[in-house]
Each structure stands twice: as structure tokens, then as C-alpha cells.
Amino acid sequence: MPAADGRVFEDVSPRDGRVIAEVARGSAEDVDLAVRAARRAFDDGTWALADPVQRKRVLLRWASLIDERSEELAQLESADVGHPITDARNVDVPNARNCIAWYAEAIDKVYGEIAPTGADALALVGREPLGVIGAVIPWNYPLIITAWKLAPALATGNSVVLKPAEQSPLSALALAELGAEAGLPDGVLNVVPGFGEEAGEPLGRHVLVDKITFTGSVDVGRRFLRYAGESNGKAVSLELGGKSPHVVLADVEDLDRAADAIGWGIFYNAGQTCHAGSRVVVERSLVEPLAERLVAFAREMVPGDPAEASTTLGALVSGEHLDGVMARVSRAAGGDGARLLVGGSRAEPVPGGAYMEPTVLEALDAADPIVQEEVFGPVLAIQQADDAEHAIALANGTGYGLAAAVWSSNITTAHRVARRLRAGTVWINTFDISSLATPFGGVKDSGHGRDRSLHALDAYTHLKTTWVAL
Ligand code: NAD
């Protein structure tokens, strides 16, 4: 439906800089309409009080509609954010679909508790939905992150108002359409596309919203805490950015394998992954051989047209974002803090698009912004460490704490190092392997929410005690 004031915004594809859609530009008025619809739907109980088996059926139908329309969803995602079409087909769409099916299958298998009380009481502890959830989503994996929020929130009986990123509204709208077709009752899922300050802020401040689940930047995450504090004190969970380090110890078993995983871990999705392994902290004796391999990996990964099935490195999300990434690299390479080993230039496989060569720098100063700040592009910084102890200090030496990896052939050493890394996920001798069964989120500036796994149900429910006198 159109925005209340009839305004639209242009959705530009980073593939070639062309406008691919005009999208309703949501404002406070639209947010208010959506929140009230969500509130009514929650209060009437059709969804919130439905038998979990009924919610499961609807969510499973939704998952199978995603299967049926998978090509369309993949095309939308690829055109909207520049993901290579093969990744959109093989990763984005199936992951979103599997997430919805996973929570559908889980929800009729979650039990409550009976608290240990005396013989004169029966105290039941059960989970209840929170009410209206505001979900605010970034542009880097629109389908997957949207599914991570919607599936547990809806499975537990909440209503949702979803605000996709202004750069990537298309797949969210298509997903919601399929949800309605699958049988989500009216008002249970509402999408308000639009900009952060025009639609995101009113959602964060709305007094009928019970909880905000946010994924995005640190700065905006903190704004949501402020919005909550200045409105109704709603709950907020935050999945924020990262500057994830690989700690490569001198006894790593297979340097080629490590280099491959490190290369994929930073250049996949053009580095626009919150947990991208954007730093390598490597013991001195291995700096040269590892850097050589990473440079070779970067040279082989040539940016290509996202619409081509053979492309592995697509576009960055927008020309504006590309300018920001390029500026950070120029600043780093132009000062004393870093040495450019490969890349650092724009590419143009499709005229008008937003492309960049995979870039590797050797970082000489741990305080350099290229080490400390999230770049969110295909840019890897290598840091030298004297020994494992120094490597741990460097790895923990940023504000972020989303993910990390340890590479060592000694499993005891690897575990000892992993224990001391402050991060929500630590991989040992691998990178970026995950499952819906494992929680995902961060510590420190990376936030405090957890998506995925049964633990995500905690984010969308409260524990209710019913005390019966016997
Ligand atoms: P962003 O914070 O700029 O935007 C995220 C969302 O917030 C968008 O929907 C945007 O419209 C909205 N928003 C922006 N300004 C707002 C405001 N003033 N008030 C209310 N809403 C506002 O982030 P982005 O650029 O879209 O995404 C990139 C960031 O997301 C990176 O920092 C990345 O690391 C992070 N991220 C984190 C995870 C994770 O799980 N930890 C996953 C993916 C992305």
C-alpha cells in the first residue's frame, strides 16, 4: 500500500546504479498505523493464543512458498544489494527458508516448568509472547537477518512491525506477501519501508511497541537504547558490528587451508558481513608466507557482474558506501599506520556499479583506524604478534567482540586461546561455519542480543509464573 503521505523513494541497484523500484516512504504516521494494527492483532489473540501446532503449520506453509518462489526472491536480493546471484540462490534464500522452518518445527516442542515449591502450591512457569516487536534490519543480508528476527518472534505468538533498510526493502516486502499468503492473520506482520530517522526512530519511540530487535551499526544501536529510555522503557536487543580477528599461531597445521578460509571470510559478500574476519593477527614467523597466500587469493577474486552465475565477488551496497570504504583505505595506506599489499582500487565489471578490488594491508600500528574500525568492505588488515600472549592482546584490542578464530594444530593451545578471546563466537581451525542450532551475537560494542537457536526464543518471550494454591 502507498505511504500515508503518498511519498516514495527510489531503490537503486548497486549492480549498475540504476533505479529498480519506487518504494513507499514510511513516516511516523505509517509506523503508527502499523503498530496499531499489530497491537490489535496481538490483543485479539488469533495468533498469540493459537495452538502452537497451528502457528507451526502456517510457518511451514510460508517456508514452502519461499521454496516455490525462490528464484524471484534470489533475483530481488541480488538486484537490490549486489549479492552474486549464485550466493542469493544457494545461501540467502535457503537460509531464510530454513530458519522459518526451524522455528516452526521447534515451537510445538518447547515445554514450560513446574517450580519446586512446597506441597501446598503448584507454581507453573511458562513462556508468553511479549506483544508487538519492532524489527529493524540492515542491508547486508536482508533476507537472512529478517528471517532470524521474524521466525522466532512469530513462532512465539508476537506481532511484528518490520523496518527493512532503505537500501534493501524488496525481499522483505516479498517475504511478507508470502507470509500473508501462507495464512498469517491480518496485522500480525507489517512492513514499513523507509529511512532510519523517518521510520526507524518513530518505531523505536512508539509506546505500543514492547520490544525492539535491532541489527545494524553501533551508533544506531545506541540510539535505540535512548529511544527506549525516553519512551516506554521497552526491551531492546542489539546485534551490532564487528572487527573479527583470526589468531594464526606459529604451529598452524595447514597454512594454505587457513589462508583460503581467511580469504573467504573477508571477501565473501564483499566484506559486508558483520562477523567478517577483517583482521589477521599472526605470529611473526608466518607473516610473510601467510601474506603471500592472501595476496594471491585476493588477486584471483575478481569483482564481477552479480547477475552472472560464475561471479563470486559482487557489488558493494551503494556508490556512497563504496566511497566510504575507499576513503578509509586511502587514509590507511597514505599514512604511517599501514602498507597496502594488494587491491585498494575501484573496479567496473558493470558500468555505473559499486565494485572494489579485494584489498589486503599490513597494519603497522594497532591504534590505526583500519585496525580499530569496522570498514564493512573487502579489506583485510594483517597484524604481527610476538607470541600467543601478544596475539590475544591484539585480538582483544578493539571495541568489538562479535567473532574470532584461532588457528593452531595444538587443540589445547587453541582452546586456551579461544577461552580468552572476548567474542560471541570463536571458531577453531575454521571460519564462518554455523548452524541454526547455535546462537549468534556479540559482546562489548558488538551488542548483547542472540539470534538463532532456541535461545533466541528468550528474546521474544517473558516468563510468566502462575501460582496455584492447593
Ligand atoms: P545502520 O545502523 O545504518 O542501519 C540499520 C537499520 O537502522 C536500517 O534499517 C536503518 O534505516 C535504521 N536506522 C538508521 N539510522 C536510524 C536512526 N537514526 N533511527 C532509527 N533507525 C535508524 O546499519 P547498516 O549500514 O544498514 O548495516 C551495517 C551495520 O550492521 C554494520 O555495522 C554491521 O556490522 C551491522 N550488522 C551486524 C550484524 C550482527 O548480527 N551483529 C549483522 C549484520 C550487520
Q: Whose CA is nearest to atom 32 of ligand 1?
A: 217
Average pLDDT over residues 21-36: 98
Task: Identify the pLDDT of residue 336.
Answer: 84
The average confidence (pLDDT) of the chain is 97
Sheet strand arrangement including 461-469: 113-114, 121-129, 461-469
Beta bridge partners of 285: none
As to burial, measured by CB atoms within 10 angstroms (0-12 exposed, 13-18 middle, 19+ buried), residue 338 is buried
- Torsions phi, psi for 189 (to 5 deg): -130, 120
Is 239 part of the annotated catalytic residue set? yes
Matching residue, cell 517473558: 462
**Number of C-beta neighbours around residue 366 at 10 A:** 17
- At 316 the pLDDT is 98
Asked if residue 196 has its Cβ within 6 Å of ligand 1, the reply is yes
Q: Please report which confidence band the pLDDT of residue 20 belongs to, taking 50, 70 and 90 as the band edges.
A: very high
Q: Is 456 in the pocket of ligand 1 (CB under 6 A)?
A: no
pLDDT per residue over 138-180, tens digit each? 999 999 999 999 999 999 999 999 999 999 999 999 999 999 9
Q: Does any ligand 1 atom lie closer than 6 A to the CB of residue 194? A: no
Indicate whether 329 pLDDT > 90: yes
Q: pLDDT tens digits for 179-233?
A: 999 999 999 999 999 999 999 999 999 999 999 999 999 999 999 999 999 999 9
Question: DSSP letters along 89-127, please?
Answer: IIIIHHHHHHHHHHHHHHHTT---EE----TTEEEEEEE
Strands, sheet with 245-248, edge to edge from the N-terminal-most edge strand: 338-342, 359-363, 379-385, 279-283, 245-248, 403-407, 425-428
Does the annotation mark 274 as catalytic? yes
Q: What pLDDT was estimated at residue 252?
A: 98
For residue 218, the ligand 1 atom closest to its alpha carbon is 32
Q: What is the pLDDT of residues 346-381, one digit of tens each?
A: 999 999 999 999 999 999 999 999 999 999 999 999
Which mutation among 171, 212, 215, 218 tests ligand 1's pocket best, with the greatest number of atoms within 8 A of CB?
A: 215
Three-class secondary structure of residue 48 per DSSP: coil
Q: Please report, in angstroms and rounded to a whole number, the separation of the first and last CA atoms in the chain.
A: 54
Candidate from 274, 328, 444 with most ligand 1 atoms within 8 A of CB, to mutate: 274
Rounded-to-integer distance, Cα 175 and Cα 100, Å: 11
Tens of pLDDT along 128-139? 999 999 999 999
CA atoms within a 13 Å half-sphere pointing along the CA-CB vector of 350: 24
Q: Summarize pLDDT for 112-129 with one digit per residue, the tens.
A: 999 999 999 999 999 999
Tell me what pLDDT residue 335 has: 86
- Closest listed residue to residue 215, CA positions, set 241, 195, 244: 241
Q: How far is the CA of 139 from the centre of ligand 1 (A)?
A: 7
